Amino acid sequence: MPVEITWLGHSCFRLRDRAATVVTDPYGKGLGPILPRVRADIVTISHDADDHNNVRGVKGDFQVLTGPGEYEVSSVFVTGLELRGERKGKKGAEAAPRNTVFLFEFDDLTVCHLGDLNHVPTQAQVEEALGTVDVLLIPVGGGESLNASQASEVVSLLEPHIVIPMHYKVPGIDLNLDPVNKFLKEMGLDKVAPQESLKVSRGGLPDETQVVVLELKSKDEA
């Protein structure tokens, strides 16, 4: 059975196959958009911020994963990896808040959610920690996470089959982020027609990296 990927806004996705439903980084009301009503078996939190950690906004009897480790929930294998860089503070460079990258293994398909990654990893980090990624969910809008240029570099390092941008400017959002078009230009694309959701399986993966832009689900549609 394919994995269905739906974008619920910002860094929040619903990943669903016949065995389980995963919700990543649910956001609170302060972001602007309203989180759709969604149920889950697994909720992952990349870092402790209001626009990524609204566990109470998700329905169901679910397990919450918030940090590094290896987990198996409802036949889904999940690996959490800590990846963070530096940011400039009043006293110079300082460690950025902890960010957990999550790898989800649905049968023979691997989906990677980069959370609020704010730097381009080294080739060694990619090979040792992340390995092969089929579908990459990547921040592209800048702010406290990757900007368009950095995101393009990460895509080149990981060479996933499918790239889905997240964490960018949309109408109504209250954060200073760049629009997705800036990332598309970095990837050598003029426009990509948004699609409602993506259903993907191992046999349907493209040979070359493909960028998929998902439509934002409204609060009543998920």
Name the amino acid, one letter, at 80: G
Nearest to 20 by CA among 36, 44, 37: 44
Asked whether the beta carbons of 154 and 146 are under 8 A apart, the reply is yes
- How far is residue 141 from each of residues 11, 67, 99, 125, 183, measured CA to CA in Å? 11, 24, 17, 23, 8
Q: Count of CB atoms within 10 A of residue 64's CB?
A: 12
How would you write the pLDDT of the chain (222 residues) with one tens digit per residue?
Answer: 799 999 999 999 999 999 899 999 999 888 877 889 999 999 999 998 888 889 999 999 999 999 999 999 988 999 999 986 555 444 444 556 689 999 999 988 999 999 999 999 888 888 788 888 999 999 999 998 999 999 999 999 999 999 999 999 998 887 899 999 999 999 999 889 999 999 999 889 999 999 999 998 765 555
- Non-local CB neighbours of 4 within 8 Å, separated by 6+ positions: 14, 15, 16, 17, 197, 198, 199
